[in-house]
Structure 1
Amino acid sequence: MSKKVLITGGAGFIGSHLADDLLKEGYEVRALDCLSPQVHGEKRDRPNYLHKDVELIIGDIRDKEIVSLALQDVSIVFHLASMVGVGQSMYEIRKYTDVNNLGTAILMECLIDSSVEKLITASSMSIYGEGAYQDGFGTIHHNSKRYVSDLKNKKWELYNDGQELQPVPTSENKVPALSSVYALSKYDQERLSLITGEAYNIPTTALRFFNVYGTRQALSNPYTGVLAIFASRFINNKPPVIFEDGNQQRDFIHVSDVARACVLAMESEKANGEVFNIGSGKQYKISFVAQKLAHVMGKEIKPEISGEYRVGDIRHCFGDISKARKLLSFEPQKNFDDGLLELSQWLEHQIANDSIEKANQELSKRGLTI
């Protein structure tokens, strides 16, 4: 008899791809998802891309009765349910805390009385705040930060004793530096999961995802991943808006690699009680990414560089994935060019309600852009 897997947030971007992989491996898959209008539209219909063999329970992660129902006969849980977005989290503080923190707490309480054998929770690179940096003497700095006085003068990079620091790959050993409500909530999800798992002998793993991109991402959600936001603008023949000078660096990983990392964490005993960076191990400037996406989409539209800072944003962060390589035998397989081409082909058939200008206005009127 095959094991049953529950994916919270399982009708979403990452969850649906993970469901496909699990079904191929012979697992039964159940998804618990509230079908948030911000992600799935006002009608909240079952997504067409969600595999027909996925059992979908429409419900809120904060509803203990629904969560208990979803856990019946389940052996493995992937906890992906989350409100996502740095900017929005800075003014919808209660909602992010309620869904992400309280929702995880309710899931943990339900797990105590369940027969679940393993838990894998989605964390985020956002918990690091600024990534790791190196000075000219080779010293690594893990607690670097930027100051408002510098940002107001468009001094974007980080410095130590007047010397500009250079970004280097960030490992799991870096102490979290939580710079947004979203980051705080993701760290809370991670720690709640690991603490509960250890206390109740439920093998638990936290995966710190970097910037995930690919098909099925919500194009009409202005707080989703940066590539989906750029794609939404290009579909509507508008330039993507980039904060600061566009030279900030990020690690982009294809959703298929993320789904595979989830399966590897599920299957490996070496993952128990551990946290892992799940990224590509490469980094790209945001302005370069915008230009590259425009090219593959056939759009001659240059990004708009705002020269503004968004509260909660960091300058550079990209992953050291050596731990996942060593313990999980994880190796990213989709290179960036191929991933963007696949994305552009999917985008040809998509419609996006572009609301990024409205979202940026929300930030501006609250003083969250400098």
Structure 2
Amino acid sequence: MSSNIAKTPQVIVFFGFVVLAVVIIAVSIGFLQPMNKSDTREKILISNLKNEKIPAKISEIPPNKSYHFAYPSSYDISKSENSHQMFILIRVPKELGGDKDDISSFRAYSAVALESGCLMKHWPHEGRNTVIQEPCHNGVYRVQDGLLIGIELLYKHLFNALPYLELSADEQGYIYAEPPIWELDKNGVVGIGRNVSEELYRKTAIAELNDYLTNSGKPLDIPLQLKDGSILTPGKTNHDFVYKNTRDIRIYHHLEILYCNCSAPTDTSMLDEAWLLDDELLYVEGFYPPSGEYQYYSVTFFRDGYQIKFLSSGRSFEELLTHVLDNFYENKNYSMLKKA
């Protein structure tokens, strides 16, 4: 009896801390959200070269152009305490449909990165203009839908995207933000993200892959799902992909496809490890990341004019080769490999 009585204050203190933590988190999230107390849409105001606030208009913003703006517009986003009220208005590049003179050419996302809380911008330079880049941890988001892509996606159990504002326009072409619902399954939560479906990521990766193969002019059979359950998701380019495992975020697979209209090299003397599967060459490279915590191996092979590189973490040399054979070859196993 005495031991139970002795533990009672500890239990009370413990639950007190839990309740306090929940309250603090809830209040913090509440304060971080853009305050939306109106049920009416709001005209988006951007800054001109004289730093004057002017209404955003479709006809006055060319493709591949972006502006930071405050939502709601009553906030001063030059003040750090209002950073979570900062959004990015983007007219997407022409190759993504930005040449259409209607509201479908525009997107508006929170400027707060999901990984670090750093403020982001959209760069118009070729090679960078189809994504929004986070400056602190190099997180990358697609311009057309705000999806988090690349390696950073692997460290999340859910599929994530930037919070957004739905846009509309009046008869004169002025751009408005529709009233959002700041919930994970709606417009999202600033600084935390927006839940999107696994199916959306899958369809996006398939579209990226098909686009690259079509432009290359040759078909290629690539598994959309590995035998360990990892699914193909988009990477930072249209020939760069990540296999995401939703059950275990420690599993890392990276796939790079490059059309070179070439075949495997005949001189294997400069390769780390060269192996033959029948008459096909596979070569393996191993390296340590800067942390030195895990060793990574990659396997490169050639098929139908493409160079295919598959990288995985946390697997031994033999495990990786076995994994590649299981997923990219039919009826092949590790015992069939011979040293080149």
After TM superposition, is the score higher than 0.5?
no
TM-score between the two structures when normalised by the length of structure 2: 0.24
Which of 1 and 2 has greater Rg? 2
Higher helix share: 1
